[in-house]
Amino acid sequence: MHKFILVFSALLTLSSSYIVDFGPVVKATKGSIWPHPKTIVSTNYFRTLRPSTFDFETIGYKCDILQSAIDRYKQIIVVHLRRLRYKADSSYSNKWRNSSEFNGSMEALKVDLKKSCEKYPHLDMDESYDLKISENQATLSAESIWGVLRGLESFSQLLYLSPDGRTLLVNETTIFDEPRFKHRGLLVDTSRHFISMSTLERILDGMAYNKLNVFHWHIVDDHSFPYQSVKYPEMTRGAYHPSMIYSQKDVADIIEYARLRGIRVMAEFDTPGHTASWGASHPELLTKCYGVYTGKLGPINPILDENYDFIYSLYDEIVDVFPDKYVHLGGDEVGFECWQTNQDILNYMKQYNMTSFVQLEEFYIQKLIDKVASLNAIPIVWQEVFTNGVRLPKGTIVHVWTGDRRKLLLKITEQKLPALLSSCWYLDHLSTGGDWVKFYNCEPHDFTVKEDLRKLVLGGEACMWSEVVDDSNVIQRIFPRASATAEKLWSPMNVVDIEDAKSRMEEHYCRMRLRNINAQPPSGPGLCLA
Amino acid sequence: MHKFILVFSALLTLSSSYIVDFGPVVKATKGSIWPHPKTIVSTNYFRTLRPSTFDFETIGYKCDILQSAIDRYKQIIVVHLRRLRYKADSSYSNKWRNSSEFNGSMEALKVDLKKSCEKYPHLDMDESYDLKISENQATLSAESIWGVLRGLESFSQLLYLSPDGRTLLVNETTIFDEPRFKHRGLLVDTSRHFISMSTLERILDGMAYNKLNVFHWHIVDDHSFPYQSVKYPEMTRGAYHPSMIYSQKDVADIIEYARLRGIRVMAEFDTPGHTASWGASHPELLTKCYGVYTGKLGPINPILDENYDFIYSLYDEIVDVFPDKYVHLGGDEVGFECWQTNQDILNYMKQYNMTSFVQLEEFYIQKLIDKVASLNAIPIVWQEVFTNGVRLPKGTIVHVWTGDRRKLLLKITEQKLPALLSSCWYLDHLSTGGDWVKFYNCEPHDFTVKEDLRKLVLGGEACMWSEVVDDSNVIQRIFPRASATAEKLWSPMNVVDIEDAKSRMEEHYCRMRLRNINAQPPSGPGLCLA
């Protein structure tokens, strides 16, 4: 094992003193935090942490979320060391112990939760925390449980392997951290391909490791309807297969798994378009087409009272099943070709003085929005609902997914509506090489300098549409590419240095691998010992 | 489980009678062969095959390769059924048994190998086979063991699940098959990221399932040197890490694993560029740079006799360790910046009347080619060696990797040199969506209509450069994208129908999943029950 040192010194040589430009071996940082904290002061003083004896000491409020997090992070710390230890060079001296910068071992991290726990994470949750590791102190404190969760994640990321591979080290560090944006999401489409429960859980783990806090579950779409409704269980006839269904227990398990990690689960049942799979069980919901389209079905038929009864009733259930206050109504890409051929629809429009199909769409969405509002939930809609001119109640969030993001964000926020950004973070858009950089270079606030408008951008989401991903590759495609989005949404606006980010991301992807997230290499040649 | 039928009928409805163009659910074929055979006549008559009692009956020559293949395919057939069976609808009638097209069960496939086995696969091996499954007969026959391997793969792909999910069916079919090109390769770069042995074995499995027959092992490069030489074990100082090394046993295991699947292992030790990692142990091999590059090292220094001693001796070993007759010498992307600054090199060139660095490169490559020829091996070189004007001995293969493939293939073959094509099959070049279609649309013979020139194109290779792939994603990125290359190189030139290919590939990717190859979805929304 003596080669270990040689290898690494060789690599250092490689990346500095060869002329042929073969691109660098991307060097990973040690113990850096992703996403970058708001303020962090690190020193060269360090302490040691022995996973076998180390413990968390709760000195404030306690609750199930805290206990579960402590159990998880203890496990993570043990695994970090166990999986790395044998890779290191045991013959390497442990002279670091004699270093004047070594300040002894750290037996515990005090965890000071200052307020009692909330049950569910929510848009306005407080995620700030203080973390101080010094010679005399090792304390994580936060006003809320959500801050504790974020702080525990940061603490776990500070740890790195000692040069002799026998233990973990942590540099003395002072952090005050809080996110720049409240809504830091990941959309996962489980309709184009089914994604298994265990993969969804790994995705939620990965979100927690990136401080992402909203799982936007695009659960159904044209291609399949895997959600097993309590009221309308027959709708899973639109599922791909009986083994490709989320039961009520599955949904509850995902919500609980996410809750324990401070992640909101926001469901989307996209209408009136993107509903072909609904027709497998309820063709009467969909518009009958005529003319060249005779025999085909279109979007939801918006002129039938009984359709509203059905959809209202489904939304009663959705709001009941998903505890989050926000419900994504979809509303994107509604095609008018079918409505155009249906005489009943044309008559109806005439009767109500509608002169365009946009008005008909507005009519539908308006009713749905009113319904959701009556359920004390807040709607989120894709941008078309806004650009088509639907009057949106105050507080409705407009989700930007295509086109000129700056123009759109300006238009939306000028109308005092809150917005979410996704158009620059489509994970299904692939380019050759380490293409996370394009995600990293997207700044959500570059559409204006006006603070009052900027404030209306609540955050954004990386979107994993699943046309060509399934359990085989979805995690690799999300991580670490969505980590770029996570940092843009968490870290201060001035964290933009790509070279610095590359080194930190190299560590971060490998750290996810240690934790059983099959993250792919982000930037270029290198090694991950996980 | 009654829903099974409903689901599938719903899907059929979905893809035909909804107006909103949400893209089709890609429907998989049942029992189609990838790559498409040269000639195949299928009928609607079918027989049943019970994995628990089915057997192969060898009626010709036997050998270890045959026995191993039979063991593998028996296992594959058992696994196919076991992994699919529970997904099917057991309530579905088994009325197929009463069908007039049902011709009873098939207890065995006779395997008639007509000549004794060769030990190693080689460029000119005979891969043709006849497969006949009729009411009275089920026979695979081939002149050579390599044809038997290809025929067993085809046979295994003909099987599909019966509607009641209880057994496998196979349609009565007559196939005569042989490849269009002799050399159907996959390059895997194990230098930019290390790829583990088990992943390499899965890749070889996947190659066999696609009838690819050359594993081009780009084993070392600038970034790391994982090959553990017998003569120069210190060269692994250029490896990333002691755990990231291929021992002699590992290499032998890969060669054996490949041999049993009819796959050649062709090693590449790229010189004189791409050798930075060699310098970790032997900096004296590399050119010292001066001037602005002082302190840096460049390509192999071609003016030192002792360097040739070293490289010749390494090649003695390479030719000994890798049994294939062909050795890839590399020769691509040699930068001249460093040579330019080295006065010894400039003096040497003057002394020998060399007026350009291309001549110096030629001088080096020429010596290496002569050496390899003296070892009774045949060199393969990247295209630059040819375009730079190095005189190549008859039979040297020129490997096209960039630029205008038609012009290059024409130039090379007009000089009566054999060629390999890779430039249109770079697997590291990513595009959004199901981007295998771009690989599928590349025709290796479209550079000329002259048969004598076309014949000089021996085939090609899909190339998996590993800058941003490692064990987490390399298999997903290769399969099924390299399957497109595999079909272009195996099937007749007129097999070009993309829609037909989409359906067959949908089955094929899912079939690979059944066999533990983590292939990713190729084309669009759909389901794989593996």
| The pLDDT of residue A92 | 61
DSSP string, B95-144: GGGG-TTEEEE--EEEEEE-SPPPSS--TT----EEEEE-SS-EEEEESS
Q: Do B394 and B379 reside in the same domain of the chain?
A: yes
Query: Which residues make Cβ contacts (< 8 Å) with residue A100, sequence separation at least 6?
Result: none
Per the DSSP assignment, residues forming a β-bridge with B42 are B173
Tokens of B54: 């089915």
Whether the per-residue pLDDT at B3 is higher than 50: the answer is no
Residue A528 in any domain: the answer is no
Which tens digit of pLDDT belongs to each residue from A329-381?
A: 999 888 899 999 999 999 999 999 999 999 999 999 999 999 999 999 999 99
**Whether residue A201 lies in the annotated active site:** no
Whether the per-residue pLDDT at B18 is higher than 80: the answer is no
| The pLDDT of residue B74 | 96
pLDDT band at B22 (very low <50, low <70, confident <90, very high): very low
Residue B401 in any domain: the answer is yes
Q: What mean pLDDT comes out for the span B198-211?
A: 98
| The pLDDT of residue A530 | 82
Comparing C-alpha atoms, which of B107, B129, B113, B111 is closest to residue B174?
B129
B403: phi > 0 → left, psi -120 to 50 → alpha, else beta; which?
A: left
Separation of alpha carbons B187 and B53, rounded Å: 39
Tokens of B416: 């009566």
Sign of the CA dihedral with B270 first, then B271, B277, and B280 last: positive
A399 half-sphere exposure, CB direction, 13 A CA radius: 26
Contact B469 A520 (CB under 8 A): yes
Query: Looking at B177, B195, B227, which one is the last position of a domain?
Result: B177
Query: Which residues make Cβ contacts (< 8 Å) with residue B367, sequence separation at least 6?
Result: B308
How large is the C-alpha radius of gyration of chain B? 25
| The pLDDT of residue B13 | 39
Query: Looking at A143, A177, A211, which one is the last position of a domain?
Result: A177
Q: Out of A68-82, A184-198, B76-90, which region has the weakest mean confidence (pLDDT)? A: B76-90
CA distances to A399, B4, B514 from B1, rounded to whole Å, are 39, 6, 22
Whether the per-residue pLDDT at B16 is higher than 50: the answer is no
Which tens digit of pLDDT belongs to each residue from B157-176?
A: 999 988 888 889 999 999 99
Beta-strand runs (E) in A201-330: 214-218, 264-271, 286-288, 297-300, 326-330
Q: What mean pLDDT comes out for the span A525-530?
A: 90
Comparing C-alpha atoms, which of B194, B148, B108, B508 is closest to residue B520?
B508
Nearest chain A residue to B510 by CA: give it.
A472
The answer to whether residues A328 and A463 touch, using CB atoms and an 8 Å cutoff, is no
CA distances to A23, B192, B274, B306 from A18, rounded to whole Å, are 10, 16, 11, 21
Tokens 């391997």 sit on residue: B149
Q: Do A141 and A242 reside in the same domain of the chain?
A: no
- Residue with the larger pLDDT of the pair B434 and B495: B495
Q: How far is A277 from chain B (nearest CA, A)?
A: 7
Tokens 């080295």 sit on residue: B342
HEC sequence for B401-438:
CCCCHHHHHHHHHHCCCCEEECCCCECCCCCCCCCHHH
Nearest chain A residue to B224 by CA: give it.
A11
Q: Out of A79-93, A432-446, B345-359, which region has the weakest mean confidence (pLDDT)? A: A79-93
Tokens 């399969």 sit on residue: B479
The answer to whether residues A317 and A229 touch, using CB atoms and an 8 Å cutoff, is yes
Q: Do B262 and B310 reside in the same domain of the chain?
A: yes
Query: Which residues make Cβ contacts (< 8 Å) with residue B254, sequence separation at least 6?
Result: B197, B200, B201, B204, B215, B217, B246, B265
Q: Which residue in the set B277, B279, B467 is minimally distant from A433, CB to CB? A: B467
Q: Do A131 and A31 reside in the same domain of the chain?
A: yes
CA distances to A347, B81, B265 from B118, rounded to whole Å, are 79, 33, 16
| The pLDDT of residue B206 | 98
- Alpha-helix runs per DSSP H in B116-224: 145-158, 197-209
Residue B358 in any domain: the answer is yes
The answer to whether residues A302 and A360 touch, using CB atoms and an 8 Å cutoff, is yes
Q: What mean pLDDT comes out for the span A44-59?
A: 94
Residue A510 in any domain: the answer is no
| The pLDDT of residue A88 | 60
| The pLDDT of residue A257 | 98
Contact A521 B13 (CB under 8 A): no
Which tens digit of pLDDT belongs to each residue from B231-243?
A: 999 999 999 999 9
Burial of B230 from C-beta contacts in 10 A (0-12 / 13-18 / 19+): exposed
Contact A87 B243 (CB under 8 A): yes
Contact B244 A296 (CB under 8 A): no
Q: Say if A331 is an interface residue toward chain B (CB within 8 Å).
A: no
The answer to whether residues A188 and A218 touch, using CB atoms and an 8 Å cutoff, is yes
pLDDT band at B5 (very low <50, low <70, confident <90, very high): very low
| The pLDDT of residue A7 | 34
Element (H, E) at A206: helix A197-209
Residue B281 in any domain: the answer is yes
Produce one character per residue of A376-389: b if its CB has 16 or more CB atoms within 10 Å, e if not.
ebbbbbbbbbbebe
Number of other residues whose CB lies within 10 A of the CB of residue B20: 22
Q: Do B357 and B419 reside in the same domain of the chain?
A: yes
Tokens of B387: 């375009």
Active-site annotation holder among B143, B178, B201, B333: B333
| The pLDDT of residue B91 | 60
Which tens digit of pLDDT belongs to each residue from A274-311?
A: 999 999 999 999 999 999 999 999 999 999 999 999 99
Whether the per-residue pLDDT at A131 is higher than 50: the answer is yes
Q: Do B102 and B77 reside in the same domain of the chain?
A: yes
HEC sequence for A478-503:
HCCHHHHHHHHHHCCCCCCCHHHHHH
Q: How far is A163 from chain B (nearest CA, A)?
A: 14
SS3 A276: helix
pLDDT band at B87 (very low <50, low <70, confident <90, very high): low
Q: Which residues in chain A are contacts of B281 at CB distance < 8 A?
A: 10
Query: Looking at B135, B161, B177, which one is the last position of a domain?
Result: B177
The answer to whether residues A159 and A31 touch, using CB atoms and an 8 Å cutoff, is yes
| The pLDDT of residue A16 | 35
Whole-structure pTM value: 0.94
Interface of A with B in 153-172 (CB under 8 A): none
SS3 A46: strand
Separation of alpha carbons B236 and B250, rounded Å: 14
Q: How far is B122 from chain A (nearest CA, A)?
A: 33
Q: Which residues in chain A are contacts of B521 at CB distance < 8 A?
A: 193, 467-470, 472-473
Tokens of B299: 């390509």
Tell me what the pLDDT averaged over chain A comes to: 92
Nearest chain B residue to A290 by CA: give it.
B19
Q: Do A197 and A162 reside in the same domain of the chain?
A: no
pLDDT band at B11 (very low <50, low <70, confident <90, very high): very low
Separation of alpha carbons A340 and A325, rounded Å: 36
CATH of the domain at A65: 3.30.379.10
Q: Do B253 and B330 reside in the same domain of the chain?
A: yes
DSSP structure class, residue A340: G
Residue A518 in any domain: the answer is no
Query: Which residues make Cβ contacts (< 8 Å) with residue B324, sequence separation at least 6?
Result: B120, B122, B264, B265, B266, B267
With pLDDT > 70 as the criterion, what percentage of chain A qualifies? Answer: 94
| The pLDDT of residue A10 | 38
The answer to whether residues B55 and B107 touch, using CB atoms and an 8 Å cutoff, is yes
pLDDT band at B86 (very low <50, low <70, confident <90, very high): low
Contact A241 B7 (CB under 8 A): yes
Q: What mean pLDDT comes out for the span A154-175?
A: 93
Separation of alpha carbons A130 and A471, rounded Å: 37
Q: What mean pLDDT comes out for the span A126-137?
A: 96
Comparing C-alpha atoms, which of B139, B74, B77 is closest to residue B113?
B139
Q: How far is B24 from chain A (nearest CA, A)?
A: 8
Residue A262 in any domain: the answer is yes
Domain of B213, in residue numbers: 183-496
| The pLDDT of residue B1 | 29
Tokens of B155: 């046979």
Q: Do B306 and B356 reside in the same domain of the chain?
A: yes
| The pLDDT of residue B88 | 60
Element (H, E) at A421: strand A419-421
Query: Cα dihedral angle (B326, B332, B338, B342), rounded to 10 degrees?
Result: 40
The answer to whether residues A482 and A212 touch, using CB atoms and an 8 Å cutoff, is yes
Separation of alpha carbons B103 and B45, rounded Å: 7
| The pLDDT of residue B90 | 57
SS3 B203: helix
pLDDT band at B89 (very low <50, low <70, confident <90, very high): low
- Alpha-helix runs per DSSP H in A355-435: 357-374, 383-387, 405-414
Q: Do A155 and A261 reside in the same domain of the chain?
A: no
Tell me what the pLDDT averaged over chain B comes to: 92
Residue A453 in any domain: the answer is yes
Interface of A with B in 182-201 (CB under 8 A): 191-194
The answer to whether residues A23 and A525 touch, using CB atoms and an 8 Å cutoff, is yes
Q: Do A169 and A282 reside in the same domain of the chain?
A: no
Which tens digit of pLDDT belongs to each residue from B42-76?
A: 999 999 998 889 999 999 999 999 999 999 999 99
Q: Which residues in chain A are contacts of B280 at CB distance < 8 A?
A: 6-7, 10-11, 13-14
Tokens of B349: 């060139």
Q: Do A56 and A150 reside in the same domain of the chain?
A: yes
Separation of alpha carbons B49 and B106, rounded Å: 5
Contact B473 A473 (CB under 8 A): yes
Q: Which residues in chain B are contacts of A429 at CB distance < 8 A?
A: 432
Whether the per-residue pLDDT at B502 is higher than 90: the answer is yes
Separation of alpha carbons B223 and A23, rounded Å: 9
Q: Count how many domains chain B has.
A: 2
How large is the C-alpha radius of gyration of chain A? 25
pLDDT band at A11 (very low <50, low <70, confident <90, very high): very low
Interface test with B, best of A3, A8, A18, A512 (most B CBs within 10 A): A18
Which tens digit of pLDDT belongs to each residue from A385-424?
A: 999 888 898 999 999 999 999 999 999 999 999 999 999 9
The answer to whether residues A527 and B240 touch, using CB atoms and an 8 Å cutoff, is yes
Whether the per-residue pLDDT at B19 is higher than 60: the answer is no
Nearest chain B residue to A12 by CA: give it.
B280
CATH of the domain at A310: 3.20.20.80
pLDDT band at A93 (very low <50, low <70, confident <90, very high): low
Number of cross-chain residue pairs from A and B with Cβ atoms under 8 Å apart: 241
Q: Which residues in chain B are contacts of A221 at CB distance < 8 A?
A: 22
Contact B521 A273 (CB under 8 A): no
